[in-house]
Every structure is written in C-alpha cells, then in structure tokens.
Amino acid sequence: MGYNARLRVAICGGGIGGLTTAVALSRYPDIDVDVYEGAEKFGEVGAGIGLFPRPWGIIKKLGLEQDLLKTTDMRPQEGPVTSFRYRISDRREGLDFYTLVTNGNLLVFHRADFQKVLLRRLPKSCKTHCSKRLRSYTQRRSGPIELLFEDGSTTTCDVLIGADGLKSAVRRSLLGEKAQAAQSERRVAEVAAINAAVDPVWSGTNAYRALIPAERLRARAPNHRVFTQPSQYLGKNGYIVAYPISHGKMINFVAFSSQHNLENTTFGGPWVSPTNKSEFESIFNHWEPEVQALIDCVETPLRWAVHTVRPLGSFVSSRVALLGDAAHAMTPHQGSGAGQAIEDAYVLATVLGHTTTTRESLGRALKIYDKIRRPMALEVVERSRLNGQYFSLYTGSQDFSQLAGRVLANELQALGDTFTRNWEWAWTTSPEAMIREALRMLES
C-alpha cells in the first residue's frame, strides 16, 4: 500500500460484494485498495445469480452494464415484464395460479462470469492477494488497523472492509470489540445478544441446487414449461425454482425443503455438500409430473443448508465496516443477497470516496454508511424470510391441501398478491434516494 494515499483500504473477501467495492472505489484515485481473498484463487461457487432492476441501477452507475450483458442473451427490459409463473405442485395434478409481473426484468448471470467482469475492471493500482485468509484484526483509538492472517503474516490499513461472507472473520473480531465495550459498561444482556450473532444460524431450510443440461430435459419432456418461462413450483414445506441460463443451454434448478420450526437452530452436518439424489427425490415424490421431469434430470444435487446472520445492532465499529453476507446473510427467497451486497458496496465507496472523508473523519463516514444501509438490508432479510414462508405455504392456519375449486384459486391469488407486495421494493424503488441521502448527510 502506498503511504501518500488519502486512505488505504483493505477489503477482506473477493466475492461479489468485495470486488464490487473495489471497482466502486477505483473511481477515487487517491484511495489505495488491497483485496485479501482467503481462497487460492478467485472463484464463485454455484450457478445463476439474478439481479432485479434496483441493484442493476448500481451496476449501470459503475459502468459494468455492457461487459455483463456480453455474458448473456438476456437484455434489460423496461415496463411490465412477466418474471415468474407460479404453480401449486404438491399434488398429482398441479395448477397454474399466478403470474409475477415486475417493472423491468430479473437479469440472470453465471456467477463465474460476473466475477470475471469485476476482476477485469480492477485498475492496476488495486492489488489482489489470494491465499490470504484473515484471522483477526486489532484497531486502537488511533493509528493503522492491524490485520493478522491465518498464515501468520500481518499488514496494516486505515479502513477495513469485511466482505468475507457468511462465516466472516471480520464480523467475529468486530463483535468481539463490541462485546468487550458492552462488558466494560456491564450491559450484560447486550453482551449475550452480540455474542449470539457471531456464528450464523440455520434457517431451517435446505436448498438442493443443480444445473440441468437443456438437452437432457428436452429428451425427457420436449415442451417443458421452463424452456420458455422461469417457473416456481410451490407446495407444503418446499418449493422449486427453475429457469434457463447460459444462452438456454442449461436450466438452473433449486429445490427448497423447509422445516420452519427449526429456524435459528444449529445444523448438524456440512453446510454445503453433494448429496445423493434419493434424499431430495423422496421429499418431492408426491409432486406433479412436471416437477418429476425436472427431478429425473438432476444428477448429483448440491445441498446447501441455508444459514443467516442474526440482525446486527451495527455494521461498523470505528474504522471497520461489514458488508454483504458478512453483515446480513439472508435467505435466498427474494434473490437479493448479492443485490444488497452491491448496494452496500456502492454506498460504502461513496462515503469513503467523498472529498470530506479523511483518516480523521472515517468514523463519521462509516456511521453514515451504517445509518443508510443497515435498516434497508435488515428489512430485506425479513422480507426474504417471509417469502420463504409464503412459497412453502407456511401461512398460519391455512391448509391448502384441504381446498379445491374456486376457493383454492382465490386463496392462491391472495397468496400471490401477498408475496408480490412483500417483494415489489426490488423493482419499484431505485437506489437514487439512498445515495442522495448519504451525500446529504456527508455534506451537512
């Protein structure tokens, strides 16, 4: 890191959140950036990543639009777009019941492509370091922050950004600082709440993810709905999402199985592991033929035990800030985890890049970031959780298996309206107001 820079920023974690922050900071030539990635090389696990119009607005601001669009056949559309068709499917004969119309479309990318675009846009002045897994940091009242890595090496920075995902080491250290402060003032209940947020908790839901070659599905079901229409198949305690990616060559498939009563417990077993097909086949074996056709084409699904981070009382501690999953890992039921990480990245870069922000005023800048981003991100966490309940028909006393005919259709229509109202922030609001507010606070 150069010592003449206005600020020396260390970003811990080179996932979508960390790299977007590095790209957003590259617009400020007097800020030095180092990205420390724990893995041996940059690489995204998983397949598709969907972005709604709101985070896409940020992508455009960062000038990443054209590079990203080169990786897909999809094109941003304006105005009303049919985004998903919904069926109730936990029965022998399924039923189409709802069409989700969004304002602008959900753009889907391959995760690895997305990351490559971000990496290509990093300026030479931004240094990336792989195999640098942070163990902890130390910050004192003044002076640089010290970073300690798992390999025993150390470095320093003025600002540390924890973009190190669900199991964030930065979050562990940051909450350690907060717990110590609360302890010294004998705020006992607060200490317990802070400590409870260090480790992620299981959401009670497992996601079985797979990529289905379109040819394989075509051989099994030549006119399957998912070739032409992103679809969600809902049922009691689970649901399935399927849509085409990679120029239509692949179908991105995710099947969710939920035990809502186990939310916020500890998951016994590996959080991500290949699973044998019979485990998830048995969950959906009573579902309609259209679903069976998809399941028949899945070979070895990857089982993700979906974990979340309990709502934090703050995303910052003095000159350290958390973003993305490190700050607010959420369930994937609104397809918004990466989108929220992108919003964090942009706002954080805006407050750090602002001419009023110096080494001395960093604390204030990060507090503005926290004030702007935390309420929004935590609201999305809750909305995503609720969508998970709606999609798995976990709606209080209503038992959909006992309904039929017009009554069933009416109740399902009401359910569709409910999850749409809960979700429409993603395509009816823009990030502009949030960015204006951050600037207003910086300048006031």
Ligand X SMILES: Cc1cc2nc3c(=O)[nH]c(=O)nc-3n(C[C@H](O)[C@H](O)[C@H](O)COP(=O)(O)OP(=O)(O)OC[C@H]3O[C@@H](n4cnc5c(N)ncnc54)[C@H](O)[C@@H]3O)c2cc1C
By the criterion CB under 6 A, which residues form the site for ligand X?
A: 12-18, 36-39, 49-50, 133-134, 163-166, 169, 207, 209, 254, 304, 306, 324-326, 332, 335-339, 341
What does the alpha-carbon distance between residue 372 and residue 438 come to, in Å, rounded to a whole number? 7
Please identify, using beta-carbon distances, which residue of 191 and 251 lies nearer to ligand X: 251
Please identify, using beta-carbon distances, which residue of 174 and 306 lies nearer to ligand X: 306
Q: How far is the CB of 208 from ligand X (least distance, A)?
A: 9
What does the alpha-carbon distance between residue 352 and residue 139 come to, in Å, rounded to a whole number? 18
Q: How far is the CB of 325 from ligand X (least distance, A)?
A: 4
Please identify, using beta-carbon distances, which residue of 331 and 350 lies nearer to ligand X: 331
Helices (H), ranges, 209-320:
214-220, 277-284, 289-296
Report which secondary-structure segment, H or E, holds 255: strand 250-258
Q: How far is the CB of 339 from ligand X (least distance, A)?
A: 4
Please identify, using beta-carbon distances, which residue of 8 and 209 lies nearer to ligand X: 209
Residue type, 7: L
Q: What are the E-state strand segments in 302-387? A: 302-308, 316-317, 320-322
Q: How far is the CB of 132 from ligand X (least distance, A)?
A: 6
Report which secondary-structure segment, H or E, holds 415: helix 405-423
308 — phi, psi (to 5°)?
-130, 165
What SS3 class is residue 403?
Answer: coil
Given a contact cutoff of 8 angstroms between Cβ atoms, the answer to whether 373 and 339 are in contact is: no
Cβ–Cβ contacts within 10 Å for residue 253, how many?
23
Pairing outcome for strands 201-213 and 31-36: unpaired
What does the alpha-carbon distance between residue 107 and residue 70 come to, in Å, rounded to a whole number? 12
Q: How far is the CB of 46 from ligand X (least distance, A)?
A: 7
User: Smallest Cα–Cα separation from 98: which of 389, 404, 344, 417?
Assistant: 417
Please identify, using beta-carbon distances, which residue of 338 and 366 lies nearer to ligand X: 338
Please identify, using beta-carbon distances, which residue of 335 and 431 lies nearer to ligand X: 335
Q: How far is the CB of 150 from ligand X (least distance, A)?
A: 7
Q: How far is the CB of 188 from ligand X (least distance, A)?
A: 29
Please identify, using beta-carbon distances, which residue of 316 and 338 lies nearer to ligand X: 338
Q: How far is the CB of 219 from ligand X (least distance, A)?
A: 26
Q: What letter would DSSP give residue 246? A: G
